[in-house]
Structure 1
């Protein structure tokens, strides 16, 4: 048991041994013993040198890891622009209005909120208030969340398996491609992952000393995670509770009581904001975006909860009968109903709830602004000149089943090391099968392995909306499970079963990397070295059996050292962290058993080839992800050179409000009438510059991402004074781009994210107009007004579509109406209120054209 170097204090077990629960944070004597090292005056030394019982290399190594992670996540961050403009506009609103900050409103006049709780917006908006609103001040907090996640993950695993394993786990998490993507983006997932890892750290501390206090803190942290992304934060709770119930060193009834205390912490952490929203008068707060009845609880358990799992919610405002599937699309988009004659309309129509509705038929929304940007080309593309990236999935979730995470775009986001994690989880549990109930290594495997299995199972079988970037929540669990399991199998590598499992984890990972690299036209030279390195390492691990030399007679090992293979102790089995171990007799450092030089060389060769064979491919993918900009609502990690997605059959042009839509990955834009191609270039990575013309957007006036029409933005700037909202538009994407282009002038997004939220009625809209609250109504129909759609051009602007479904097929077609329908409110036909508002405005106000966009001045009725 180690003493405290330089303190003159007796040896102290840190963390507390089993049964020493004390007051929950260690015994009073232990706290006094640590006071000299843990006080505020000692933190600079601890920051530089680390804990007294860590080896001297540990703290410099972890600081280097954090510095490298910061460079990876922060370098060139501004290239992504506003990233997801939907959240960027909400962040901007939060810098202008404290009320908008609290509720997570899309606009500073507080018409409607985003369809997620606001916690992630809080940190970005507060950063904007301190440093001024910009893409840098918005994205940097999420990047720092990534650095903090890696640091916390190291600290958590180090307490169980020592600093070496902690460093490995932190590096694995940092280099996960989807983690690099999301920690450089402005979606809520970055803060969510940080909070989940913080919760795991608190549970680890609670298990060490049977601490109900640490468990309560963990509950509050997960509750705050609920305020970040609602029920997704709760997926880790079964693993947290099970690890504590199994391994906490106290009586069974006490363990149950402590878990209930942690549950109370969850309620407190999540419930205060929900309670405030529910008690706040609805007339004086924004509408809760994504909900059907303006309720945060309904949003949590509906669209953002059970609707995601069971597929009963098609999206915000997405209920209602769907339209007939567009000809030629049925079956090409995975998850689409074969007939499309039934199912939810709106956003969910493209997300497994029914067919794509044809232009002009009913429905409650339609896909906002066309397909999302992005992704790897696959065969069997969409008519209109493109292919969905990544096959099944591509933003739609793909087929439900165990293989979802290994197919399509999901695979390249998270699955590089997923087979190894599953193998090593089994191996780690096997290696600790004879350990006592309170063994902390096994408890950690239960915690991280349970997190991995539950979350992966839910993502695999979700029947509602699921996107590839959600899998960032698996990154810490995959990394920790690999580190813990590999450590335990390496310690017991004298047994053939351990060597088989180690070799299998390396070999399978190398083969799977070979397969994944073969799915994209990128760095194909890497496939063979990765495969050969992995197979060589697997062979070495399988056939090599280390010798068991006798310990030196000069220093008899302690009982703990004698029972540990190769003299290697870990904190998970009740010993001190590896590094500065001392003998019980004289405080001298124990030598333990050392490998002979030839065998040491074999071990080094096996580890080096294993590292390259398993980590080279995901690391290269991660670096490539950081090197490219990412924009849009559904970003994907990986190289941007692989094929993007073209237009739909007869696809309408990009919304002139947004100047078209495009995304990274060389995606071409669907032209409008007289519009320009939206081809992404190195100088214009999002393909957003100089687009527009007079074309209508998919779904009658909404693009997924884009820049606002410059002439329209200038009109709004000059006409904003004296109005609560300078304009009303169909949906949030159009509103967000206009707000960002006009320095945050409030724009009313009448139907929320998808254009289908029942947030307003015709009578309410008339009252706003009568009160002089809205200056302009911006129709979605371009120069043709908000009426029915005409045939649209294909992605390349010349009307050529891929008639045979291939990426480069031929066969000219001008399409048949595309997605624009009567009403121009986010989809074919729009909702009833949307159509009524559109008709009323068209009949009573004169249309003008500004930069190719139809605009109605609501202060100038038809004479």
Structure 2
């Protein structure tokens, strides 16, 4: 896990209460203005894109919005407790996605300094109190993780040295601003390719909707123009919400001609046999047919890789469930999205080698070898993965060791190694 746990607490509690089902319940009501504002935000394409799956961004935006509301109430009512509550919301936002929540703090602080109905000295004193509330509500979890010995807690995903401070200041901190994220799989390149894909879709339904809207509203007032302008985001958002998705990078808008799963059509990111090292069962005659097992690319296991996942075959699920009680992990596979697909299908523990994108040094080759020797892992599944630009090569070394020491077999379209 390369994020703090707040968003996972919410979804975990939901599963505890309602079970693992593809629906949720929200029966809260609000004033008409709030409902309209919420509808506008919900119909914004990027919100529809990010909030439709269990990424921390939805909770992060909710907490930042709640903090802004609390600051406004503090200014309107001249009540310090609202400002303290804003600090608590921001602290909880830190436990959702760490330093990214601080992007709104300068604006909120400036608004209070300029508009609070108290003396300037009291404004500074109260902001200090709110900052303390933020630090306490965010810092207790950080301190707890840092103080617990590494051998008594899970590995800190996204960190190269198993440190929550490194994760906070690097991968989930300054790295989000300067792009220096260890193990990042070329996100800037994906963004550029996404722009190309959007340009290819310029004749699709959302683009046509906005053109027609502006043409139809040309003779009317500004309100009609605004309504017409919102028609395009509405059409795009509805298409996004109606399209099934899988994996870590979800799909937006209508599918482009020749593309598979929207972003997947651009180089088959996270799909079979295109980016990096293939397994022994890779398609002959391809550029990727000589390197070793699974891990980073190749035909491997046919699961989604970094940017997606899919449902494994019935034959593979049956194999994973066979004698599963005798093992701690029914299987091991590179990447957390790959592991998630197998784990949800088989309802059994599956080890995510290398963390989210396969570049965490967890487990190391030595640790993995010991787990295999102890009979803890039943299968290793070769998969296609897009390798990160930096980070540990432990997952690649594990993949190579498995391929060199165990026999590969095809099970339901996947490359599987029996480690028993």
TM-score range, shorter chain: 0.7 to 0.9
Using a 3 Å threshold, how does the CA distance of structure 1 residues 119 and 520 change in structure 2: closer, same or farther? farther
Residue of structure 2 equivalent to 1:280:
148
Residue of structure 1 equivalent to 2:402:
841
Q: 1:253 aligns with which of 106, 117, 121?
A: 121
Question: Are the aligned partners of 1:192 and 1:228 in contact in 2 as well (CA < 8 Å)?
Answer: yes
Shift of 1:530: 1.8
Between the aligned partners of 1:829 and 1:848, the Cα distance in structure 2 is 31
Cα deviation 1:329-366 (Å, max 9, x = unaligned): xxxxxxxxxxxxxxxxxx43x2349xxxxxxxxxxxxx
* Higher-Rg member (1/2): 1
Between the aligned partners of 2:121 and 2:371, the Cα distance in structure 1 is 59
Kindly indicate whether residue 277 of structure 2 is the aligned counterpart of residue 390 of structure 1: no
Q: 1:305 aligns with which of 159, 163, 173?
A: 173
Residue of structure 1 equivalent to 2:419:
858
Kindly indicate whether residue 237 of structure 2 is the aligned counterpart of residue 622 of structure 1: yes
Between the aligned partners of 1:210 and 1:287, the Cα distance in structure 2 is 45
Q: 1:776 aligns with which of 353, 373, 379?
A: 379
Residue of structure 1 equivalent to 2:349:
746
Residue of structure 1 equivalent to 2:75:
207
Between the aligned partners of 1:127 and 1:280, the Cα distance in structure 2 is 27
Residue of structure 2 equivalent to 1:612:
227
Cα deviation 1:650-684 (Å, max 9, x = unaligned): x99727xxxxxxxxxxxxxxx9749xxxxxxxxxx
Shift of 1:257: 0.8
Question: Are the aligned partners of 1:654 and 1:672 in contact in 2 as well (CA < 8 Å)?
Answer: no
Residue of structure 1 equivalent to 2:17:
130
Residue of structure 1 equivalent to 2:84:
216
Using a 3 Å threshold, how does the CA distance of structure 1 residues 775 and 250 change in structure 2: closer, same or farther? same
For the aligned residue pairs, the C-alpha RMSD in angstroms reads 3.5
Question: Are the aligned partners of 1:534 and 1:614 in contact in 2 as well (CA < 8 Å)?
Answer: no
- Secondary structure of the residue aligned to 2:4 is coil
Question: Are the aligned partners of 1:699 and 1:828 in contact in 2 as well (CA < 8 Å)?
Answer: no
Q: What are the equivalent positions in structure 2 for 1:711-790 lying under 5 Å apart?
A: 711-743=315-347, 745-780=348-383
Question: Are the aligned partners of 2:75 and 2:112 in contact in 1 as well (CA < 8 Å)?
Answer: yes
Gapped runs of 5+ residues in structure 2?
A: 274-280, 285-292
Kindly indicate whether residue 205 of structure 2 is the aligned counterpart of residue 522 of structure 1: yes
Q: 2:108 aligns with which of 240, 245, 269?
A: 240
Q: What are the equivalent positions in structure 2 for 1:88-167 lying under 5 Å apart?
A: 114-136=1-23, 140=24, 144=26, 151=30
Question: Are the aligned partners of 1:533 and 1:612 in contact in 2 as well (CA < 8 Å)?
Answer: no
Using a 3 Å threshold, how does the CA distance of structure 1 residues 698 and 724 change in structure 2: closer, same or farther? closer
Between the aligned partners of 1:696 and 1:653, the Cα distance in structure 2 is 12
Shift of 1:855: 2.7
Between the aligned partners of 1:234 and 1:116, the Cα distance in structure 2 is 16
Shift of 1:755: 0.8
Using a 3 Å threshold, how does the CA distance of structure 1 residues 827 and 213 change in structure 2: closer, same or farther? closer
Shift of 1:713: 1.8
Using a 3 Å threshold, how does the CA distance of structure 1 residues 265 and 135 change in structure 2: closer, same or farther? same
Question: Are the aligned partners of 2:95 and 2:138 in contact in 1 as well (CA < 8 Å)?
Answer: yes
Between the aligned partners of 1:652 and 1:209, the Cα distance in structure 2 is 52
Using a 3 Å threshold, how does the CA distance of structure 1 residues 223 and 312 change in structure 2: closer, same or farther? same
Q: 1:708 aligns with which of 289, 294, 312?
A: 312
Using a 3 Å threshold, how does the CA distance of structure 1 residues 243 and 831 change in structure 2: closer, same or farther? closer
- Secondary structure of the residue aligned to 1:856 is strand
Between the aligned partners of 1:312 and 1:245, the Cα distance in structure 2 is 33
Between the aligned partners of 1:187 and 1:283, the Cα distance in structure 2 is 28
Question: Are the aligned partners of 2:378 and 2:419 in contact in 1 as well (CA < 8 Å)?
Answer: yes
Cα deviation 1:566-592 (Å, max 9, x = unaligned): xxxxxxxxxxxxxxxxxxxxxxxxxxx
Gapped runs of 5+ residues in structure 1?
A: 1-113, 155-162, 319-346, 354-370, 379-387, 395-407, 410-516, 538-605, 656-670, 675-694, 782-818, 821-825
Residue of structure 2 equivalent to 1:531:
214
Question: Are the aligned partners of 2:73 and 2:82 in contact in 1 as well (CA < 8 Å)?
Answer: yes
Shift of 1:626: 2.7
Between the aligned partners of 1:527 and 1:279, the Cα distance in structure 2 is 54
Shift of 1:309: 0.9
Shift of 1:228: 1.3
| TM-score normalised by L of structure 1 | 0.42
Between the aligned partners of 1:173 and 1:771, the Cα distance in structure 2 is 52
- Secondary structure of the residue aligned to 1:629 is coil
Shift of 1:187: 1.4
Question: Are the aligned partners of 1:729 and 1:735 in contact in 2 as well (CA < 8 Å)?
Answer: yes
Question: Are the aligned partners of 2:93 and 2:101 in contact in 1 as well (CA < 8 Å)?
Answer: yes
Using a 3 Å threshold, how does the CA distance of structure 1 residues 256 and 608 change in structure 2: closer, same or farther? closer
- Secondary structure of the residue aligned to 2:331 is strand
Higher percent of residues as helix = 2
Residue of structure 2 equivalent to 1:82:
none
Residue of structure 1 equivalent to 2:131:
263
Shift of 1:727: 1.7
Shift of 1:264: 1.0
Using a 3 Å threshold, how does the CA distance of structure 1 residues 171 and 750 change in structure 2: closer, same or farther? closer
Between the aligned partners of 1:653 and 1:621, the Cα distance in structure 2 is 25
Shift of 1:222: 1.0
Shift of 1:528: 4.6
Cα deviation 1:354-401 (Å, max 9, x = unaligned): xxxxxxxxxxxxxxxxx8xxx9xx9xxxxxxxxx4432xx6xxxxxxx
Using a 3 Å threshold, how does the CA distance of structure 1 residues 206 and 706 change in structure 2: closer, same or farther? same
Shift of 1:628: 2.6
Shift of 1:278: 1.2
Question: Are the aligned partners of 2:204 and 2:254 in contact in 1 as well (CA < 8 Å)?
Answer: no
Kindly indicate whether residue 255 of structure 2 is the aligned counterpart of residue 640 of structure 1: yes
Question: Are the aligned partners of 1:705 and 1:733 in contact in 2 as well (CA < 8 Å)?
Answer: yes
Q: What are the equivalent positions in structure 2 for 1:56-455 lying under 5 Å apart?
A: 114-136=1-23, 140=24, 144=26, 151=30, 168-313=36-181, 315=182, 318=183, 347-348=184-185, 350-352=186-188, 388-391=193-196
Using a 3 Å threshold, how does the CA distance of structure 1 residues 521 and 620 change in structure 2: closer, same or farther? closer
Between the aligned partners of 1:711 and 1:115, the Cα distance in structure 2 is 32
Q: What are the equivalent positions in structure 2 for 1:771-850 lying under 5 Å apart?
A: 771-780=374-383, 831-850=392-411
Between the aligned partners of 2:356 and 2:20, the Cα distance in structure 1 is 22
